[in-house]
Structure 1
């Protein structure tokens, strides 16, 4: 990793980020302001994450994407103008992204993330991967883990979305908690010592640490063990759906396409059976309903998942508040926008 300068918040930046500084403190904003982030994949989800990181005030954001702007891109991605069809997606997103916050250094890289050497990733404090293959995500996650670089992965498939984060073996953060006021003296009513009380008007900062598993460990749980079997009932079915969708991406080099919905639906059904069988689980765990709801990126789902993913990156870089460990899942079919969490830790 490159050496980091001690970030200084200028008067202009203090005015720009006044609300955030009041919310999570100057030190947290300075850590955020000194951080550089790589965002791979400028689809609908990537655009939402980019917006949230730029508005939060990171030092620099690199947009990496080799894909071209398509009609579908224009529907799901608000950073590219309609007139940019056929242009590189990262470069077409640059102007609107930069206009969100001129204080952030935004760069566009039209290269392929798969072609980037290991050293490329080591210049960042956090790496966020969207639209990537399972093998690539595992490779980058393992590399970054060795160099204490924070890793985030996420995708949106129709009504479904997920996020994964790995902040390392020993991630430190602070959490704001209500202050506990200790009683003074003995109880005068003979009932014994007074109990400590929580003062809702005062808070204190508590230092904490958390440990995260790698993506490889999270995806390679042995579901035949007694411990895993016991945890199966608490594991959202979305976790297994993710296995299916990542396998589809590996086999086809793309995500399910609504223009070939019948053919892709049959393939998803077959992959579902193969994946669950390989995990030692029944195919009935994931019924056929999911097939109708996992095509294309839906803007509302991108907004929800991108909001959570962006906020988790901000929390991790600022080292403020409790992080998610390790997965976040979203199912847009549920009227209440239900979210599920799962982690093998």
Structure 2
């Protein structure tokens, strides 16, 4: 049975409770989260979730600390580090059953697909993400997720008498402002998601997809280039191999363009030099989004992103794309 929410906890999380309510904070206190990959991105998510007050946070990582990590990861001290090695790719399905949410960062595509499959089998919410230079992404497969949203309706709507009433200004026939009664209502919604494998395997030769490509941000296809690079090289693009990696990225970009029958200029050539190493500001942006989504998922408040979030450095913008439905 859950412990009673103490006065000390109420004081500590006062701002959050006023923001999303006591019930949501109680759910956070009971949440068990696994974060795999403690690069700059993983560190950002872990920090934000610990501050939010989750019950338990397990951090899993198998990579030795490098100079690059010290430059992008504020949790990595510059003097001495001791860490327990653990490879998420080596874990079987049973390992994940004790968690409510699993986040995998800085992993190969095949690993992400495998862990995503384990989580779907177990009914566990799965998220993934990575940062490549200035570019970053997050993916969410929540299987089926139920949440509530606050909606506002006019006083003429059929709402229960005990629902809160708000007032908003409106103009009368002479242009003078008067107040119109409105009510808020908590509406319950169920949202379905698809696994990463299905999303990446979307058939872009279909007519509906062809029309969408024209208005779609290039980030989804940049991600395909980066996944192919990882599969070939076993790592992220690195500045120490900049010349060779840049050629490889451009070559893979041409292959992806042909594979999906994209317009030749769909993947801007200017993006390739921006994909090297891990930039801490981009990790902060994507890490903030991932932590925000995890908190929304746990609290069952507001609609989560479905299903990709991208940070496009060329546009200095975040983009949400729904792919694979």
TM-score scaled by length of structure 2: 0.89
Distance in 2 between residues matched to 1:183 and 1:68, nearest whole Å: 60
For residues 28 and 299 of structure 1, the distance between their equivalents in structure 2, rounded to whole angstroms, comes to 30
- Equivalent in the alignment of 1:102: none
Residue 33 of structure 1: how far off its partner (Å): 1.1
Match of 1:295 in 2: 276
1:98 is aligned to none
Q: 2:305 aligns with which of 316, 321, 324?
A: 324
Contact 1:40 1:63 in 2 (8 A): yes
Residue 182 of structure 1 pairs with residue 150 of structure 2: no
Answer yes or no: is 1:56 the counterpart of 2:52: yes
Q: Is the 8 A contact 1:179 1:198 kept in 2?
A: no
Q: Is the 8 A contact 2:148 2:187 kept in 1?
A: yes
The correspondence of residues 61-140 of structure 1 with structure 2, limited to 5 A, is 61-84=57-80, 87-88=81-82, 91=83, 109-140=84-115
- Distance across 2 between alignment mates of 1:282 and 1:6: 56
Aligned mates of 1:30, 1:50 — CA distance in 2: 19
Matched, 1:250 2:224: no
RMSD (CA atoms): 1.9
Distance 2:104 2:257 in 1: 25
Structure 2 CA distance, aligned partners of 1:30 and 1:166?
Answer: 23
Contact kept in structure 1, 2:213 and 2:262, CA below 8 Å: no
Alignment map for 1:128-167 (pairs within 5 Å): 128-167=103-142
Partner residue, 2:289: 308
Structure 2 residue runs without a partner (length 5+): 159-179
Deviations 1:239-266 (A, max 9, x none): 0000000111111110001011000011
The answer to whether the Cα contact below 8 Å between 1:236 and 1:341 also exists between their aligned partners in 2 is no
Given that residues 166 and 326 in structure 1 are in contact (C-alpha distance below 8 angstroms), is that contact kept between their aligned partners in structure 2? yes
- Residue 252 of structure 2 corresponds to 271
Give the secondary-structure state (helix, strand or coil) at the position aligned to 1:284.
Answer: coil
Q: Show structure 1 runs of 5+ residues with no match.
A: 92-108, 185-196
Count of matched residue positions in the alignment of Structure 1 and Structure 2:
304
Q: TM-score of the superposition, structure 1-length normalised?
A: 0.84
Per-residue deviation, residues 251-302 of structure 1 (Å, max 9, x unmatched): 1110001011000011111111222322233443213211111001111111
- The one-character-per-residue Cα deviations of 1:142-195 (angstroms, maximum 9, x if unpaired) are 221122111111111111111110111x310011223532289xxxxxxxxxxx
Q: Is 1:341 equivalent to 2:316 in the alignment?
A: no
* 1:6 CA displacement: 4.2
Q: 8 Å contact 2:117–2:195 — kept in the other structure?
A: yes
Give the match for residue 190 of structure 1.
none
Query: What is the aligned counterpart of 2:28 among 14, 18, 32?
Result: 32
Report the Cα distance in structure 1 between the residues aligned to 2:17 and 2:47, rounded to whole angstroms. 19
1:272/1:250 Cα in 2 relative to 1: closer, same or farther (>3 Å)? same
Is the partner of 2:99 in helix, strand or coil? coil
Aligned partner of 1:96 in structure 2 is none
Is the Cα contact below 8 Å between 1:153 and 1:163 reproduced in 2?
yes
Distance 1:7 1:314 in 2: 20
Instruction: Give the secondary structure class of the aligned counterpart of 2:186.
Output: strand
User: 2: distance between equivalents of 1:227 and 1:6?
Assistant: 49
Moved more, 173-182 or 38-47: 173-182
